[in-house]
Amino acid sequence: MSEDLLDDLINSPEATIQKWTERVVSGRVGDLERRLHENSTENAQLRVQVALDRDPELAGKWRVLNNDKAFIDWLGEVDGFSGAPRQHLLTRAYNTGYSDRVAAIFKAFIAQQTPARERTQARLPHEGTGPQPTIRTADLTRGKIWSKAEIHAFIEIAGAACMTSESLRDCRSSRKYSRRRSKAA
């Protein structure tokens, strides 16, 4: 040991020991931090893979798509919403464990590849079966004063409509409110 080191050790023992151990400790701590980061990234990626495997739309598709040339080319394009390359968005979401974002990227690609169906001339079975409006344009005359009989008739019609509705509780409360309002008039 040189005299300078001994003088440093005698004059400021804490600083000298800290200098000697800093390289060794920082090397070990750096290695531990790197391993911890690698483990957390691996855990995040595994969580994403499990979530994608459980997604009913992507379960059998995402692993195949991940190696598809068209998908890889599509990832090279810039996303219209974020302005970032899609590959960067996918990698960042995958490495941080955001499975919903990863799934959304895969689903966006699938949606773009699916051709739009042409509109058919015939109405589909589920179209036009919703509730029809009960108020006609003729009923909306400006400045009309409603009579008690008209108000009661409306309440009865609304009550009958509520009996067929799933939200019977909401209809009952609206009928009570309507009856209080009509009695006050």
Query: Which residue bears the tokens 């495997």?
Result: 53
Cβ atoms 55, 105 nearer than 8 A: no
Q: What backbone torsions phi and psi does residue 155 show, to the nearest 5 degrees?
A: -65, -40
pTM tops 0.85, yes or no: no
Q: What backbone torsions phi and psi does residue 161 show, to the nearest 5 degrees?
A: -65, -35
| pLDDT tens track, the chain, 185 positions | 567 777 777 778 788 778 777 877 777 777 777 887 777 788 888 898 999 999 998 988 899 999 999 999 999 999 888 889 999 999 999 988 999 999 999 998 888 887 666 555 565 555 554 555 566 666 667 777 878 888 888 787 776 655 554 555 555 555 554 555 545 55
Which of the 8 DSSP states describes residue 137? G
DSSP per-residue codes, 142-185: TT----HHHHHHHHHHHHHHHHTSS-HHHHHHHHHHHHHHHHH-
The pLDDT, as a whole number, for residue 85 is 92
Which residues have C-beta within 8 Å of that of residue 165, sequence separation ≥ 6? 171
Determine whether 6 is exposed, middle or buried from the number of CB atoms within 10 Å of its CB (0-12, 13-18, 19+).
Answer: exposed
The pLDDT, as a whole number, for residue 132 is 53
In total, the chain counts a number of residues equal to: 185
The pLDDT, as a whole number, for residue 13 is 76
